[in-house]
Protein backbone atom coordinates (compact mmCIF):
# COMPACT_ATOMS: atom_id res chain seq x y z
CA UNK A 1 0.00 0.00 0.00
CA UNK A 2 1.25 3.48 -0.92
CA UNK A 3 0.02 6.66 0.76
CA UNK A 4 0.29 9.62 -1.59
CA UNK A 5 0.14 10.05 -5.35
CA UNK A 6 2.65 12.87 -5.69
CA UNK A 7 6.19 12.59 -7.00
CA UNK A 8 7.31 10.04 -4.40
CA UNK A 9 4.25 7.80 -4.41
CA UNK A 10 3.91 7.56 -8.20
CA UNK A 11 7.64 6.99 -8.71
CA UNK A 12 7.73 4.15 -6.18
CA UNK A 13 4.58 2.57 -7.63
CA UNK A 14 5.99 2.71 -11.16
CA UNK A 15 9.34 1.24 -10.13
CA UNK A 16 7.70 -1.55 -8.12
CA UNK A 17 5.55 -2.51 -11.14
CA UNK A 18 8.63 -2.58 -13.35
CA UNK A 19 10.38 -4.87 -10.88
CA UNK A 20 7.47 -7.25 -10.40
CA UNK A 21 4.17 -6.98 -12.29
CA UNK A 22 2.57 -9.57 -10.03
CA UNK A 23 2.62 -7.24 -7.02
CA UNK A 24 -0.76 -6.03 -5.78
CA UNK A 25 -0.38 -2.30 -5.17
CA UNK A 26 -2.98 0.08 -3.78
CA UNK A 27 -2.36 3.82 -3.89
CA UNK A 28 -4.39 6.21 -1.74
CA UNK A 29 -4.56 9.70 -3.25
CA UNK A 30 -7.58 12.05 -3.34
CA UNK A 31 -6.35 14.58 -5.93
CA UNK A 32 -7.58 14.67 -9.52
CA UNK A 33 -4.62 16.80 -10.61
CA UNK A 34 -0.87 16.30 -10.49
CA UNK A 35 1.50 19.29 -10.51
CA UNK A 36 5.11 19.76 -11.50
CA UNK A 37 5.84 22.23 -8.73
CA UNK A 38 9.56 22.84 -9.49
CA UNK A 39 8.44 25.02 -12.42
CA UNK A 40 6.31 27.28 -10.22
CA UNK A 41 9.36 29.49 -9.60
CA UNK A 42 9.53 30.14 -13.35
CA UNK A 43 5.76 30.71 -13.47
CA UNK A 44 6.15 33.34 -10.76
CA UNK A 45 8.64 35.19 -12.96
CA UNK A 46 6.51 35.00 -16.10
CA UNK A 47 8.73 32.59 -18.00
CA UNK A 48 6.72 29.33 -17.78
CA UNK A 49 3.06 28.54 -18.47
CA UNK A 50 1.26 27.37 -15.32
CA UNK A 51 -1.04 25.15 -17.39
CA UNK A 52 1.98 23.11 -18.45
CA UNK A 53 2.66 22.24 -14.79
CA UNK A 54 -0.79 20.65 -14.35
CA UNK A 55 -1.87 17.23 -15.63
CA UNK A 56 -4.50 14.65 -14.77
CA UNK A 57 -3.53 12.31 -11.95
CA UNK A 58 -5.22 9.36 -13.69
CA UNK A 59 -2.76 9.59 -16.59
CA UNK A 60 0.17 8.84 -14.26
CA UNK A 61 -1.22 6.05 -12.08
CA UNK A 62 0.84 3.07 -13.29
CA UNK A 63 -1.05 0.31 -15.07
CA UNK A 64 -2.03 -2.42 -12.64
CA UNK A 65 -2.04 -0.13 -9.60
CA UNK A 66 -5.36 0.23 -7.77
CA UNK A 67 -6.04 3.95 -7.34
CA UNK A 68 -8.04 4.55 -4.15
CA UNK A 69 -9.38 8.08 -4.59
CA UNK A 70 -9.71 8.94 -0.91
CA UNK A 71 -7.90 10.60 1.99
CA UNK A 72 -5.83 8.49 4.38
CA UNK A 73 -7.10 9.13 7.90
CA UNK A 74 -5.42 6.83 10.41
CA UNK A 75 -3.13 3.82 10.79
CA UNK A 76 -3.24 0.67 12.88
CA UNK A 77 0.23 -0.87 12.52
CA UNK A 78 -0.61 -3.76 14.86
CA UNK A 79 -3.20 -4.91 12.34
CA UNK A 80 -1.30 -3.61 9.30
CA UNK A 81 -4.21 -1.46 8.24
CA UNK A 82 -5.01 2.08 7.12
CA UNK A 83 -8.41 3.77 7.32
CA UNK A 84 -9.70 6.50 5.05
CA UNK A 85 -12.03 9.47 5.44
CA UNK A 86 -14.48 7.65 3.21
CA UNK A 87 -14.93 5.00 5.89
CA UNK A 88 -12.95 2.18 4.29
CA UNK A 89 -10.15 0.14 5.85
CA UNK A 90 -7.36 -1.46 3.84
CA UNK A 91 -4.73 -3.95 4.97
CA UNK A 92 -1.16 -4.18 3.75
CA UNK A 93 1.92 -6.36 3.92
CA UNK A 94 4.18 -3.40 3.24
CA UNK A 95 3.37 0.27 3.57
CA UNK A 96 5.03 3.22 1.80
CA UNK A 97 4.19 6.57 3.38
CA UNK A 98 4.67 9.52 1.01
CA UNK A 99 1.85 12.08 1.39
CA UNK A 100 4.12 15.13 1.14
CA UNK A 101 3.56 18.10 3.42
CA UNK A 102 0.99 20.87 3.84
CA UNK A 103 1.26 24.65 3.79
CA UNK A 104 -0.14 26.14 7.00
CA UNK A 105 -0.55 29.93 6.87
CA UNK A 106 -1.92 29.98 10.42
CA UNK A 107 1.54 29.24 11.83
CA UNK A 108 2.64 32.81 11.06
CA UNK A 109 0.29 35.42 12.59
CA UNK A 110 -1.12 37.84 10.04
CA UNK A 111 0.07 35.89 7.00
CA UNK A 112 -3.35 34.66 5.85
CA UNK A 113 -4.76 38.18 5.83
CA UNK A 114 -1.62 39.64 4.24
CA UNK A 115 -1.75 37.10 1.40
CA UNK A 116 -5.07 38.62 0.36
CA UNK A 117 -3.48 42.03 -0.27
CA UNK A 118 -1.91 43.27 -3.50
CA UNK A 119 1.63 43.35 -2.12
CA UNK A 120 2.11 39.86 -0.62
CA UNK A 121 2.33 36.60 -2.50
CA UNK A 122 4.03 33.22 -2.80
CA UNK A 123 5.03 30.91 -5.62
CA UNK A 124 4.34 28.05 -3.21
CA UNK A 125 0.60 28.75 -3.24
CA UNK A 126 -0.19 30.95 -6.25
CA UNK A 127 2.69 31.49 -8.68
CA UNK A 128 0.47 33.18 -11.28
CA UNK A 129 -0.79 35.59 -8.63
CA UNK A 130 2.73 36.51 -7.62
CA UNK A 131 3.69 37.19 -11.24
CA UNK A 132 0.83 39.72 -11.45
CA UNK A 133 2.00 41.41 -8.25
CA UNK A 134 5.57 41.49 -9.54
CA UNK A 135 4.43 43.19 -12.75
CA UNK A 136 2.43 45.80 -10.82
CA UNK A 137 5.29 46.66 -8.45
CA UNK A 138 6.63 50.18 -9.00
CA UNK A 139 9.44 50.41 -6.43
CA UNK A 140 10.38 50.41 -2.76
CA UNK A 141 11.33 47.48 -0.53
CA UNK A 142 11.03 44.10 -2.26
CA UNK A 143 11.43 41.61 0.58
CA UNK A 144 11.97 37.90 -0.01
CA UNK A 145 11.85 35.68 3.05
CA UNK A 146 10.91 32.26 4.40
CA UNK A 147 9.34 30.67 7.43
CA UNK A 148 11.42 29.00 10.12
CA UNK A 149 9.73 25.63 9.59
CA UNK A 150 11.13 23.01 7.23
CA UNK A 151 10.07 23.85 3.67
CA UNK A 152 10.08 22.01 0.38
CA UNK A 153 12.60 23.22 -2.18
CA UNK A 154 14.61 25.32 0.24
CA UNK A 155 16.26 27.22 -2.61
CA UNK A 156 12.99 28.51 -4.10
CA UNK A 157 12.76 31.65 -1.91
CA UNK A 158 16.05 32.93 -3.30
CA UNK A 159 15.40 31.69 -6.84
CA UNK A 160 12.36 33.93 -7.17
CA UNK A 161 14.36 36.73 -5.54
CA UNK A 162 17.11 36.50 -8.19
CA UNK A 163 14.54 36.36 -11.00
CA UNK A 164 12.61 39.31 -9.57
CA UNK A 165 15.79 41.38 -9.26
CA UNK A 166 16.59 40.61 -12.90
CA UNK A 167 13.02 41.54 -13.85
CA UNK A 168 13.38 44.91 -12.10
CA UNK A 169 16.47 45.59 -14.25
CA UNK A 170 14.68 44.53 -17.43
CA UNK A 171 11.77 46.80 -16.51
CA UNK A 172 14.09 49.73 -15.81
CA UNK A 173 13.11 50.26 -12.16
CA UNK A 174 16.07 48.63 -10.40
CA UNK A 175 17.33 51.97 -9.06
CA UNK A 176 13.98 52.42 -7.32
CA UNK A 177 14.08 49.05 -5.54
CA UNK A 178 15.76 47.74 -2.39
CA UNK A 179 16.02 43.97 -2.90
CA UNK A 180 16.18 42.21 0.45
CA UNK A 181 16.67 38.52 1.16
CA UNK A 182 15.91 37.79 4.81
CA UNK A 183 16.41 34.22 5.94
CA UNK A 184 16.34 32.37 9.28
CA UNK A 185 19.44 30.57 8.06
CA UNK A 186 22.99 31.39 9.03
CA UNK A 187 24.40 31.50 5.48
CA UNK A 188 23.15 32.03 1.92
CA UNK A 189 23.65 28.31 1.16
CA UNK A 190 24.95 25.36 3.15
CA UNK A 191 27.38 23.99 0.55
CA UNK A 192 30.50 26.17 0.66
CA UNK A 193 31.31 25.90 -3.06
CA UNK A 194 27.81 27.09 -3.99
CA UNK A 195 27.77 29.70 -1.23
CA UNK A 196 30.90 31.28 -2.72
CA UNK A 197 29.18 31.72 -6.08
CA UNK A 198 25.96 33.04 -4.59
CA UNK A 199 27.75 35.44 -2.26
CA UNK A 200 29.44 37.07 -5.26
CA UNK A 201 26.05 37.39 -7.00
CA UNK A 202 24.58 38.99 -3.87
CA UNK A 203 27.38 41.57 -3.78
CA UNK A 204 27.53 42.25 -7.54
CA UNK A 205 23.76 42.80 -7.78
CA UNK A 206 23.49 44.95 -4.66
CA UNK A 207 21.15 42.58 -2.82
CA UNK A 208 20.70 43.09 0.91
CA UNK A 209 21.29 39.75 2.65
CA UNK A 210 19.84 39.41 6.16
CA UNK A 211 20.73 36.15 7.96
CA UNK A 212 19.29 35.01 11.31
CA UNK A 213 15.99 36.73 10.41
CA UNK A 214 13.13 34.48 11.56
CA UNK A 215 9.69 35.95 10.68
CA UNK A 216 7.23 35.99 13.59
CA UNK A 217 4.31 38.13 12.36
CA UNK A 218 3.05 40.24 9.46
CA UNK A 219 0.85 43.32 9.37
CA UNK A 220 -0.72 43.44 5.92
CA UNK A 221 -2.37 46.81 6.53
CA UNK A 222 0.79 48.61 7.65
CA UNK A 223 2.93 46.56 5.24
CA UNK A 224 5.32 45.49 7.97
CA UNK A 225 6.97 42.17 8.76
CA UNK A 226 8.51 41.48 12.15
CA UNK A 227 11.50 39.20 12.61
CA UNK A 228 13.19 37.67 15.61
CA UNK A 229 16.94 38.07 15.28
CA UNK A 230 18.29 34.65 16.29
CA UNK A 231 22.06 35.18 16.37
CA UNK A 232 22.83 34.57 20.05
CA UNK A 233 26.48 35.55 19.50
CA UNK A 234 25.48 39.07 18.48
CA UNK A 235 23.41 40.26 21.41
CA UNK A 236 22.72 43.77 20.10
CA UNK A 237 20.57 43.46 16.99
CA UNK A 238 21.01 47.22 16.45
CA UNK A 239 24.30 46.29 14.81
CA UNK A 240 22.48 44.70 11.85
CA UNK A 241 19.55 47.08 11.47
CA UNK A 242 19.59 49.27 8.33
CA UNK A 243 17.47 52.38 8.71
CA UNK A 244 17.68 53.03 4.97
CA UNK A 245 15.60 49.89 4.49
CA UNK A 246 12.98 51.05 6.97
CA UNK A 247 14.10 48.64 9.68
CA UNK A 248 13.34 49.38 13.30
CA UNK A 249 14.09 47.64 16.60
CA UNK A 250 10.84 46.85 18.41
CA UNK A 251 12.06 44.53 21.16
CA UNK A 252 15.17 43.07 22.69
CA UNK A 253 15.65 40.80 19.71
CA UNK A 254 12.86 41.83 17.32
CA UNK A 255 13.23 43.82 14.11
CA UNK A 256 10.38 45.34 12.13
CA UNK A 257 10.82 45.86 8.39
CA UNK A 258 8.71 47.80 5.91
CA UNK A 259 7.83 46.19 2.59
CA UNK A 260 6.19 47.29 -0.65
CA UNK A 261 6.38 43.80 -2.13
CA UNK A 262 6.73 40.69 0.00
CA UNK A 263 7.35 37.15 -1.19
CA UNK A 264 7.29 34.46 1.45
CA UNK A 265 7.85 30.73 1.58
CA UNK A 266 5.01 30.00 4.02
CA UNK A 267 5.18 27.74 7.09
CA UNK A 268 4.91 24.05 6.28
CA UNK A 269 4.29 20.91 8.32
CA UNK A 270 3.40 17.26 8.02
CA UNK A 271 -0.27 16.35 7.37
CA UNK A 272 -2.43 15.94 10.47
CA UNK A 273 -2.91 12.20 9.99
CA UNK A 274 0.88 11.77 10.02
CA UNK A 275 1.39 14.00 13.06
CA UNK A 276 -1.27 12.04 14.94
CA UNK A 277 0.00 8.63 13.80
CA UNK A 278 2.36 6.21 15.59
CA UNK A 279 4.76 6.66 12.66
CA UNK A 280 5.81 10.23 13.47
CA UNK A 281 8.37 11.51 15.93
CA UNK A 282 6.51 12.15 19.16
CA UNK A 283 8.89 14.80 20.48
CA UNK A 284 12.18 16.53 19.78
CA UNK A 285 13.15 18.80 16.84
CA UNK A 286 11.53 16.43 14.31
CA UNK A 287 8.23 16.17 16.16
CA UNK A 288 5.35 15.42 13.80
CA UNK A 289 7.49 14.34 10.85
CA UNK A 290 7.82 10.72 9.69
CA UNK A 291 10.46 8.70 11.50
CA UNK A 292 12.70 6.59 9.25
CA UNK A 293 16.29 5.41 9.13
CA UNK A 294 18.17 7.99 7.08
CA UNK A 295 19.98 5.41 4.98
CA UNK A 296 17.44 2.59 4.48
CA UNK A 297 14.27 4.75 4.72
CA UNK A 298 12.73 1.94 6.76
CA UNK A 299 10.70 3.02 9.76
CA UNK A 300 12.72 2.70 12.95
CA UNK A 301 9.98 0.84 14.86
CA UNK A 302 7.84 -0.83 12.19
CA UNK A 303 9.88 -3.01 9.83
CA UNK A 304 7.27 -3.24 7.07
CA UNK A 305 6.84 0.52 6.82
CA UNK A 306 8.93 2.84 4.65
CA UNK A 307 8.80 6.55 4.01
CA UNK A 308 10.20 9.03 1.51
CA UNK A 309 9.65 12.48 0.08
CA UNK A 310 8.77 15.70 1.86
CA UNK A 311 7.11 14.04 4.86
CA UNK A 312 10.19 12.28 6.20
CA UNK A 313 12.52 13.78 8.79
CA UNK A 314 15.91 13.64 7.07
CA UNK A 315 18.89 16.01 7.37
CA UNK A 316 18.74 17.00 3.70
CA UNK A 317 16.65 19.19 1.41
CA UNK A 318 13.07 18.28 0.51
CA UNK A 319 13.23 18.15 -3.30
CA UNK A 320 12.13 16.05 -6.25
CA UNK A 321 15.78 15.24 -6.88
CA UNK A 322 15.96 13.70 -3.41
CA UNK A 323 12.93 11.55 -4.22
CA UNK A 324 14.62 10.33 -7.40
CA UNK A 325 17.43 8.87 -5.26
CA UNK A 326 15.18 7.72 -2.41
CA UNK A 327 12.69 5.75 -4.49
CA UNK A 328 15.11 3.05 -5.74
CA UNK A 329 16.23 2.42 -2.14
CA UNK A 330 12.66 1.92 -0.92
CA UNK A 331 11.81 -0.28 -3.91
CA UNK A 332 14.93 -2.42 -3.54
CA UNK A 333 14.33 -2.93 0.18
CA UNK A 334 10.71 -3.98 -0.31
CA UNK A 335 11.55 -6.37 -3.14
CA UNK A 336 14.35 -7.94 -1.10
CA UNK A 337 12.12 -8.25 1.97
CA UNK A 338 9.51 -10.05 -0.12
CA UNK A 339 12.11 -12.37 -1.63
CA UNK A 340 14.42 -13.09 1.29
CA UNK A 341 13.10 -11.29 4.39
CA UNK A 342 16.22 -9.12 4.46
CA UNK A 343 16.88 -5.54 3.37
CA UNK A 344 18.67 -4.76 0.14
CA UNK A 345 22.14 -3.28 -0.13
CA UNK A 346 21.17 0.12 -1.52
CA UNK A 347 21.57 3.10 0.78
CA UNK A 348 20.31 6.65 0.51
CA UNK A 349 23.26 8.97 1.13
CA UNK A 350 21.18 12.12 1.44
CA UNK A 351 21.51 13.25 -2.18
CA UNK A 352 19.49 16.29 -3.15
CA UNK A 353 19.90 18.99 -5.71
CA UNK A 354 18.72 22.54 -6.06
CA UNK A 355 18.59 24.11 -9.53
CA UNK A 356 19.33 27.65 -8.36
CA UNK A 357 17.97 29.94 -11.05
CA UNK A 358 19.93 33.19 -10.64
CA UNK A 359 18.24 35.17 -13.43
CA UNK A 360 16.59 34.77 -16.82
CA UNK A 361 18.87 32.42 -18.74
CA UNK A 362 21.16 31.64 -15.78
CA UNK A 363 21.34 28.78 -13.32
CA UNK A 364 23.68 27.18 -10.80
CA UNK A 365 23.09 23.49 -10.13
CA UNK A 366 23.71 22.74 -6.46
CA UNK A 367 24.10 19.02 -5.75
CA UNK A 368 24.90 17.71 -2.31
CA UNK A 369 24.37 14.90 0.19
CA UNK A 370 24.29 14.55 3.97
CA UNK A 371 26.42 17.04 5.91
CA UNK A 372 26.26 19.50 2.98
CA UNK A 373 28.95 17.60 1.11
CA UNK A 374 29.06 18.47 -2.59
CA UNK A 375 27.90 15.52 -4.71
CA UNK A 376 27.97 16.54 -8.37
CA UNK A 377 26.77 14.29 -11.18
CA UNK A 378 29.95 12.67 -12.58
CA UNK A 379 28.78 12.99 -16.20
CA UNK A 380 27.46 16.57 -16.14
CA UNK A 381 30.47 17.83 -14.17
CA UNK A 382 32.82 16.60 -16.93
CA UNK A 383 31.35 19.12 -19.34
CA UNK A 384 29.99 21.94 -17.16
CA UNK A 385 31.10 23.63 -13.96
CA UNK A 386 27.75 23.44 -12.19
CA UNK A 387 29.06 25.72 -9.41
CA UNK A 388 28.95 28.66 -11.84
CA UNK A 389 26.04 30.38 -13.59
CA UNK A 390 25.37 28.58 -16.87
CA UNK A 391 22.91 29.05 -19.74
CA UNK A 392 23.00 25.29 -20.35
CA UNK A 393 21.75 24.71 -16.81
CA UNK A 394 18.89 27.16 -17.46
CA UNK A 395 17.89 25.04 -20.46
CA UNK A 396 18.06 21.97 -18.24
CA UNK A 397 15.75 23.62 -15.70
CA UNK A 398 13.21 24.96 -18.19
CA UNK A 399 13.07 22.07 -20.65
CA UNK A 400 15.16 19.06 -19.62
CA UNK A 401 13.94 18.48 -16.06
CA UNK A 402 10.19 18.80 -16.86
CA UNK A 403 10.60 16.31 -19.70
CA UNK A 404 12.49 13.89 -17.46
CA UNK A 405 9.86 14.27 -14.73
CA UNK A 406 6.77 13.50 -16.82
CA UNK A 407 8.27 10.96 -19.21
CA UNK A 408 10.93 9.15 -17.17
CA UNK A 409 10.66 9.64 -13.43
CA UNK A 410 6.90 9.13 -13.09
CA UNK A 411 7.17 6.15 -15.44
CA UNK A 412 9.73 4.46 -13.18
CA UNK A 413 12.53 4.91 -15.72
CA UNK A 414 14.68 7.48 -13.89
Annotated active-site residue in 42, 194, 265, 354: 354
- Answer yes or no: 237 catalytic: no
| Whether the Cβ atoms of residue 286 and residue 318 lie closer than 8 Å to each other | no
- Answer yes or no: 354 catalytic: yes
Annotated active-site residue in 8, 82, 134, 153: 153
Which residues belong to the active site? 153, 354
Amino acid sequence: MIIGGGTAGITVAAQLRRKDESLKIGLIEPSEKHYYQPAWTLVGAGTFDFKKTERNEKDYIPAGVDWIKDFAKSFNPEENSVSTKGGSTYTYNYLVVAPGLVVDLSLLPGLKEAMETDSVGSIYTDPEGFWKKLQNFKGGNAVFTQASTPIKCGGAPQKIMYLSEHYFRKKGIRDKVNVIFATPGTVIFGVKEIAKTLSKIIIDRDINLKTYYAPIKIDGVKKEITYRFTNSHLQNCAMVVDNKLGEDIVGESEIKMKYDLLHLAPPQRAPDFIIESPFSYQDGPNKGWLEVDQFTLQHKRFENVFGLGDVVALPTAKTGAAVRKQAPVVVDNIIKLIESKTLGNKKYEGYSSCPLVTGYGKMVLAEFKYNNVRDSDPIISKFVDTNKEQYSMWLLKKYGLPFMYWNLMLKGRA
